[in-house]
Structure 1
Amino acid sequence: MARLAPSPLRARWSVVLLAGVLGLTGAGSAIVAGADPVTPAAQTGPAAGVDRGYPRQTVLVEPAVDEGDAALRLGLAAYHDIARRLNAAQRASDRVSAEVLATTATGRQVVMVTLTAPESVAQARQQATMRDRIATRPAQAARDAGLARAYKTPVFLNANIHGNEFEGTDAALRLIEDYAASDDPAVAEMLERTRIHLVVSMNPDGRHDNARRNSAGFDLNRDLITATQPETVAVRDAIARIQPVLMLDLHGYVNGTLVEPTTPPHGENYEYDLFVKHAYPNALGIEQAILDLGYGAEDGVEPPQIPLRDWSEGWDDWPPIFTPQYAAYHGAVAHTIEIPLRVNNASYSSLTETELRRRAAINTDIAHAAMTASLAYVDEHRDELLADQVEIFRRGVAGEEQRPVKDGLFGVIGPDDVYLTDYPRAYVIPSGDAQRSAPAAARLVDHLVANGVQVRQLTQPAQIAGSAYPVGSYVVDLHQSRRGLANTILGAGTDISGRVDAMYDISGWSHGLLWGASVVSVPEGEPLQVVGGLVADAVAAGSLAPSDTGWVLSLEDPADVRALGRLLEAGAALERLPDGGVLVPAPARAVATQVVADLGVELASAPAGASGEELDEPTIGVAGTAEELWAFGEMGLSVEPVSTRALNDGLELDGLDTLYVSSGLVWRDLDERGRAELREFVADGGGVVGRGRAGAAVNDALDLLEVTTAAGRSDANGVVAVENAGGPVTGDATPHTFVYSPLWFTDLGDGVSADQSYATAPLVSGHWRADAQGAGGPKAAAGQAVVVRGEDEVTGARTVLFGSEPLFRAHPKGQYALVARALLWTAGDDTPTP
């Protein structure tokens, strides 16, 4: 089931059922061709929820002074000082509004400041109405001269997403305090036609601790399209809500200062011709503003560099994981800025305090210059920026083809800068028997809606592209303003291995293929004759089949694993079936009913006589990444940390049933006591689940599975097609998974089974080439085992090895259950198999 969003149009507006595009009607309404209706005078929608004008001032909690704050050594603002300064700015000026976007895991606040001229409630509502019209009725907005005059163009400035890249925060504070007190008429005029939104420190935990990552161990600038962390969710939501025309993300350290736009490849779902039209001229303006500061070689400062102009490749804007690249899908011209002089990592401790402060002061000046130059560009080119944002959305709503960027533009654009895609007509996320996982489908729909993508739920059955879809199915019509973002999330992506030699980060991702829901692509040109309302949020309905023989819980999704934990906590006598499913006995009906209601999982009727191994809650040790630990938490699994250091310090493993190894446990770094502890653990029947090179190394050292490990290039990554053999680990698995530095296993010994293998053409999207000798490419991996398992005939110890990345950065959520199944199997009965 799903909650439907209120209709922005009154019921008196009649609609006809046509082969269509975007409709703007609500529950029970049709998707209508070419809809661009005039907005009724009275409506619900974003403006109706606006009950405050500007300023919207929040008195921030001022923490106690903390002399251990890492910023103090650099002469920069400590976390405890940020709230004090912002409170003072709010008291001094009605141009300054502060709001708390999120609270970190340690209790620190992520604060966004808005600089703008005061607005009444009515004026703020008018701004919200215009912003909504730009996104949902862009053709109308393009014709609206009043909107063009009155709309306050939003700008988004983001600082300190990497905690030990400090100075963006101090530049933001300087800008806020300057604009709060400025009597410059140009500043006053700018704030009459602009809202400037500044996230002062996106990663206050990392800033305090001199750490790149947040306190949970995540690189927040790799998390935007997945959005697992509270800091990332908050900034994602703010970008979607604000809909900025321009965005900066302040980083360090590259000397000379790096100013995007980037090298190829460029995101194929952008309207790149409209993006680079402003990104490159603004970069030139930033460059000049930095040069005008007068810093040079005598200061250790090299001239700025613009990758699009100065590099051939290696700093691309292909993946949507970075904040600026994500913001572009909301119509923003967006830049990463890398300030020049390193003050973090080894420099933080090796340089004198005097030198660190000199560098930090220069960096702050440069970050401030990038901000003010960009604001000047927005002010000067306001009309064009707004018109081009409207045009981005208009193309989406109209379903028009992208335009290739003009060859030779600015003297820097060439054929290698042209990246386009063929949009499908729509995506369908079915309900009923055609849906692999109801919880996965609901999670995917909620994620789309959170990102500002319009999703409709059928209130009448529909025939789409020759297939029948029942009531409750979801339709994502790509004739909508954020079609680029919708296609980025749901599409399979593209294999770009042949177009560039190297990539900066990942090259493939797909919520549609990796999150565990069934998603169907509808080709362009197919009619959409459907009736349904816009979804506000989805809820997996769940089901408990009528049964006197108990039920089977198929472990296909993180929600299923959480359900398993709830059933075990309630004392249900569960059994693990040979195919990896879980038998829930009939006497557990009450708790099964509650789990279905709470988690939306589906319990099928158990076959008569079904039985398997007794299933107890496993005790799991994990030597893994922070993201993997997070994924275990998402599944509701309690784990014990294990590491090389802990084993060398005397950690005992006899309380564990199974051990997951992927990172932080290195055999060559173990002392004899640590090695002996691992040997004793498996000799006593302890299970091992190994991922990647670290897992394979532990397997080899302990002589567990007889396999040979082969490796692709270390930078190879992407979405791959696989074939599943079924059984306790890969039963009910998806036909796709994710790899990074892919491995595969050959020369399988007796008793070793290949549970999952690469398909004959494995790479679906991403970048995976053979090495210089022609080895290690996808052709070499084709047909080879990527998940293997086996059981020791003497000890009963069970082992599973993964050559894939099923928990990578907590993104491929549809693969989580593979790991849970592997842990359950390896933690199972240690009686040797006859």
Structure 2
Amino acid sequence: MRNTTTTPARPVLITAVALTATGSLLLTPHTAGADPKPVTRADTREGSALDTGAAKSPESAARRALIAPAAARTDTRGYPRRQSLAPDPENPADKSLKLGLTPYHAIAPKLNALQALGDRVSVEVAGTSAGGRRLFLVTVTAPETARQARAQERMRELIENAPAAAAKDRTIKADYKTPVFVNNNIHGNEWEGTDASLKLIEQLATAGDARTRDLLAHSRLYFNVTANPDGRIAGTRANADGFDLNRDFVTASQPETRAMRQIEIDKQPAVMLDLHGYVNGTLIEPTTPPHGENYEYDLFLKNTYANALGMEAAVNGLGYTPAKDGVQPAQIPFRDQDEGWDDWPPIFTPQYAAFHGTVAAHTVEIPLTVNNAAYTTLPVEELRRRSAINTAVAGAALRATLDFVGAHRASLVADQIEVFRRGSVGAAQVPVSAQSVPGVPGIGPEDVYTTAFPRAYVLPAGTTSTARLVDHLLANDVRVTRAARAFRLGGRSYPRGTYVVDMRQPKRGLANVLLADGRDISDKVSVMYDISGWSLGRLWGAEVVAVPGGGLSGLSLRPVSAAAPVASVAPRGDLRLRLDDPNAVAALNSLLKQGVSVRRSAEGDGSVVVPASARAKAVAVARTYDVSFTAASATHLTGTGVAPLRPVRVAAAVTAGELFALREMGFDVAPVSTAVLNAGFDWSTADVLFVSAGLDRAALTASARSALDAFLAGHGLVGRGADGAAVGVGAGLLDVTAVEGNGDANGVVRVVNWGGPVTAGAPDHSFVYAPVWFTDLGPGVRVEQAYAAGSPLVSGHWRALADGSGGPSAAAGRPSVVSGPHAVLFGTEPLFRDHPKGEFPQVAQALITMAQASSSGLVEESG
């Protein structure tokens, strides 16, 4: 796995400064040298009275390009666009070869050949994977001049930005090419969508029939050939960073996800397919309840169900049978299942696409398993037979979808316009019913999910976490404004510079799905397929205020294309850095690696003190990580007898998301597991052990267990979940009982922080998946955090087990994080999938606390 630690910054020369109201230095940097500095967050480019006094940095243009509005980046050259792709080195280890499918190294030559077939196929590189491989986006359409391409772009912009006008525009009705997006191979070991798309592209490139000519004259077809080339080659579901990309769309932590996001924004597809495997018979969305409450489900269900019927007929029409081929008839969950395959969270590609105006979006699960155990146990001939059938099934779904687009082009575009119109004017959602969605059978009250959109969200400015959240909203094509003057809204006063998200905007559903608390849906369905709560407003560490009503017309609000930088350094004296954000932790680790003598604050408030002698280095890291160093008061200064912090080396048996988050925060991490320890791990390379998965103390050899116990006796442990607690309790580090809640439970929970070194200043919300709490606390065990009394669940799905145990009421008031002299145990998931950014510092504080205790020999007993 690649090391994802942010590259250390080059020396930065400060050529000018400005004073904030508190006397801190706002940084106006000039970077020495020609190569660009690592970028962590974008600068502002408002050019208004809101500018902080910091001049634009040399890399501002590049940073702005990361989050600039889609229309500003859209390429309006005509089609075809010839691009000769350099070949990739031949890789005989590519797992797709065994299946008789196209290996990744053959894709670029194949696309070159397809472009040469005529004037319909164009190829571009949409990005690169976590492993550095190219992501190929193919466009198939009738030729366009540059002038015609610009006209198409103007119509696309009008549809989003002026939907009421677009609905009446005769040119759009006559000439707009319906965008269709096909996403393939997002799970690397679900291969065949790629091959089906390559075959279809070849057919479309040369077909001379009237239907094909008409389709391409009135549509643009976009194919993401393989969304996960790393996984395709390795035969893994995840990418090179270990991430399931089809769970990443809220966070967009991975480059492949960001590339898909940008395709959605730039191309604005009305229809999309995401080709997966393997469910027999072929599973075709729409799904079972619960349905995403933030999108216009009446429009989505109408089109998705109609297209599903066509795909079902095409797949069944191939003639495969259970007896002869092992292929069951296709199924449509909305019609054929009660629950268990939902469209509630926007972490999946089709559910995310709906917020960008896609009114028919489908996960399609092709039927015959060829991955995992089947890949290693079945004969090659059987695997290739299955792959051939799967490719044919995926091809049938693709062709049926193109037939649907050809027959319903006008209504698909009209419904996309209506999605944006409702958002722009603040129209009410239309609940699904037999009347609002005619032709869809079986609609009942269990299918009705709507929400009350606030009039606006207000994000008070000035913190790194707020700036990150603003930039994330902008990257998702959510419109954000900033106040040029102080104002009052919703009964509260806000200063100049405050961010406002006006919810009367085309993509209000996406704005709300990211910022709202969400909903407790525990009583709606008995089981959920994946996460059920994800609120950035609660989990990213920024203050987010929902304003239910009231007008914004009297406010002086200006659109922004990037958040304003917040980096500042106090002009004199020792400096204080609050570790309340992952960027602040990364800044601390950067200073420690540079040899700066940093100590924890004597206040015990989760901050650290940097000596005045390191001001120049503080200035550099403040700019790199967009953090603020304030003046340290006398109460923060630590006595000379307290040892300074030093870089923390972490041995980590953790999930891929946790490993990624640790490295984002600048920790030196060595992944370990039961197998690694049994092979003989060098414990002298570690200061602390972090365990959440993959380490079973009982499965260690005698020598490995002895080495582990010897390390833990003189060092610290940070554990998360049942596995982490088992190591800590098993080694005798902490006298507690870990109680496991419902293993399917997940969501956003209320917590109470008790003010210890781990959770000082932490948010009052956290995230859980398979929650754990602690009882029977023995001597020396300190409660750092507890689940809130009553019902701690804010949003998500958390039910008690059949025997009444394991539910939120059993967890209420119980400790969720506990510590002792040599261990910290978490029952929450503060690093889940690299998502809950505001929770990251709790793990950082735990690692620092344990490493400091072991290095200094200090043991702090507490009851």
| TM-score (norm: length of structure 2) | 0.89
Structure 2 CA distance for aligned equivalents of residues 601 and 727 of structure 1: 23
Structure 2: which amino acid aligns with 1:679?
D
Residue 320 of structure 2 corresponds to residue 320 of structure 1: no
Q: How does 1:766-781 map to 2 (within 5 A)?
A: 766-781=796-811
Structure 2 CA distance for aligned equivalents of residues 274 and 344 of structure 1: 35
Q: What is the match of residue 619 of structure 1?
A: 649
Residue 333 of structure 2 corresponds to residue 304 of structure 1: no
1:709 Cα deviation (Å)?
A: 1.1
Supply the RMSD in Å over aligned alpha carbons: 1.8
Q: Flag the 1:47–1:616 CA change in 2: closer, same or farther, 3 A.
A: closer
1:5 Cα deviation (Å)?
A: 6.9
Q: What is the match of residue 343 of structure 1?
A: 370
1:750 Cα deviation (Å)?
A: 1.8
1:768 Cα deviation (Å)?
A: 0.2
Which residue, 218, 227, 248 being the options, matches 2:243? 218
Structure 2: which amino acid aligns with 1:127?
Q
1:45 Cα deviation (Å)?
A: 8.5
Q: What is the match of residue 394 of structure 1?
A: 421
Q: What is the match of residue 658 of structure 2?
A: 628
Q: How does 1:707-718 map to 2 (within 5 A)?
A: 707-718=736-747
Deviations 1:737-781 (A, max 9, x none): 100000001121122111111111310000001110111111111
Deviations 1:484-524 (A, max 9, x none): 00000111100000110001111110111111111111113
Q: How does 1:352-431 map to 2 (within 5 A)?
A: 352-407=379-434, 409=438, 410-431=440-461
Residue 621 of structure 2 corresponds to residue 591 of structure 1: no
Which residue, 224, 227, 246 being the options, matches 1:199? 224
**1:667, 1:698 within 8 Å by CA — same for their partners in 2?**
yes
**2:490, 2:549 within 8 Å by CA — same for their partners in 1?**
no
Q: Flag the 1:681–1:4 CA change in 2: closer, same or farther, 3 A.
A: closer
Which residue, 199, 206, 209 being the options, matches 1:181? 206
**2:490, 2:550 within 8 Å by CA — same for their partners in 1?**
no
**2:647, 2:667 within 8 Å by CA — same for their partners in 1?**
no
Structure 2 CA distance for aligned equivalents of residues 535 and 256 of structure 1: 48
**2:519, 2:796 within 8 Å by CA — same for their partners in 1?**
yes
**2:273, 2:362 within 8 Å by CA — same for their partners in 1?**
yes
SS in 2 for 1:604: strand
Which residue, 664, 679, 683 being the options, matches 1:649? 679
**1:431, 1:469 within 8 Å by CA — same for their partners in 2?**
no
1:540 Cα deviation (Å)?
A: 2.7
**1:66, 1:80 within 8 Å by CA — same for their partners in 2?**
yes
**1:257, 1:303 within 8 Å by CA — same for their partners in 2?**
yes
Residue 669 of structure 2 corresponds to residue 639 of structure 1: yes
Q: What is the match of residue 36 of structure 1?
A: none
Structure 1: which amino acid aligns with 2:264?
I
SS in 1 for 2:757: helix
Which residue, 46, 67, 75 being the options, matches 2:100? 75
Residue 474 of structure 2 corresponds to residue 449 of structure 1: yes
Structure 2 CA distance for aligned equivalents of residues 141 and 392 of structure 1: 12
Structure 2: which amino acid aligns with 1:373?
A
**2:580, 2:606 within 8 Å by CA — same for their partners in 1?**
no
SS in 2 for 1:493: coil
Structure 2 CA distance for aligned equivalents of residues 66 and 571 of structure 1: 43
Work out the number of aligned pairs and report it: 789
**2:648, 2:667 within 8 Å by CA — same for their partners in 1?**
no
Structure 2 CA distance for aligned equivalents of residues 679 and 6 of structure 1: 57
Structure 1: which amino acid aligns with 2:402?
L
Q: What is the match of residue 630 of structure 2?
A: 604
Structure 1: which amino acid aligns with 2:577?
L
Residue 572 of structure 2 corresponds to residue 542 of structure 1: no
Q: What is the match of residue 808 of structure 1?
A: 832
Residue 845 of structure 2 corresponds to residue 821 of structure 1: yes
Structure 1: runs of 5 or more not aligned: 8-25, 29-43, 433-437, 792-797
**1:27, 1:534 within 8 Å by CA — same for their partners in 2?**
no
Q: How does 1:388-537 map to 2 (within 5 A)?
A: 388-407=415-434, 409=438, 410-432=440-462, 438-527=463-552, 529-537=554-562
Q: Flag the 1:676–1:531 CA change in 2: closer, same or farther, 3 A.
A: same
SS in 2 for 1:289: helix
**1:328, 1:334 within 8 Å by CA — same for their partners in 2?**
yes
**1:576, 1:613 within 8 Å by CA — same for their partners in 2?**
no
Q: How does 1:133-172 map to 2 (within 5 A)?
A: 133-172=158-197
Residue 689 of structure 2 corresponds to residue 659 of structure 1: yes
Deviations 1:659-680 (A, max 9, x none): 1111111111111111111111
Structure 2 CA distance for aligned equivalents of residues 773 and 214 of structure 1: 39
SS in 2 for 1:745: strand
Identity of aligned residues (%): 53
Deviates more, 1:648-657 or 1:290-299: 648-657
**1:157, 1:198 within 8 Å by CA — same for their partners in 2?**
yes
Residue 599 of structure 2 corresponds to residue 575 of structure 1: yes
Structure 2 CA distance for aligned equivalents of residues 262 and 769 of structure 1: 22
1:598 Cα deviation (Å)?
A: 2.4
Structure 2 CA distance for aligned equivalents of residues 813 and 321 of structure 1: 16
**1:6, 1:45 within 8 Å by CA — same for their partners in 2?**
no
Deviations 1:172-217 (A, max 9, x none): 0001100011111211111111000001111111111111111111
Which residue, 557, 566, 588 being the options, matches 1:564? 588
Structure 2 CA distance for aligned equivalents of residues 50 and 363 of structure 1: 35
Q: How does 1:325-336 map to 2 (within 5 A)?
A: 325-332=351-358, 333-336=360-363
1:454 Cα deviation (Å)?
A: 0.5
SS in 2 for 1:727: coil
Q: What is the match of residue 765 of structure 1?
A: 795
**1:27, 1:533 within 8 Å by CA — same for their partners in 2?**
no
Structure 2 CA distance for aligned equivalents of residues 507 and 101 of structure 1: 30
Q: What is the match of residue 287 of structure 1?
A: 312
**1:652, 1:677 within 8 Å by CA — same for their partners in 2?**
no
Q: How does 1:730-749 map to 2 (within 5 A)?
A: 730-749=759-778
1:546 Cα deviation (Å)?
A: 4.1
Structure 2 CA distance for aligned equivalents of residues 299 and 49 of structure 1: 46
1:803 Cα deviation (Å)?
A: 0.2
Structure 2: which amino acid aligns with 1:187?
T
Q: What is the match of residue 38 of structure 1?
A: none
Q: Flag the 1:5–1:97 CA change in 2: closer, same or farther, 3 A.
A: farther
Structure 2 CA distance for aligned equivalents of residues 547 and 712 of structure 1: 50
Structure 2 CA distance for aligned equivalents of residues 143 and 745 of structure 1: 62
Structure 2 CA distance for aligned equivalents of residues 512 and 237 of structure 1: 23
SS in 1 for 2:485: coil
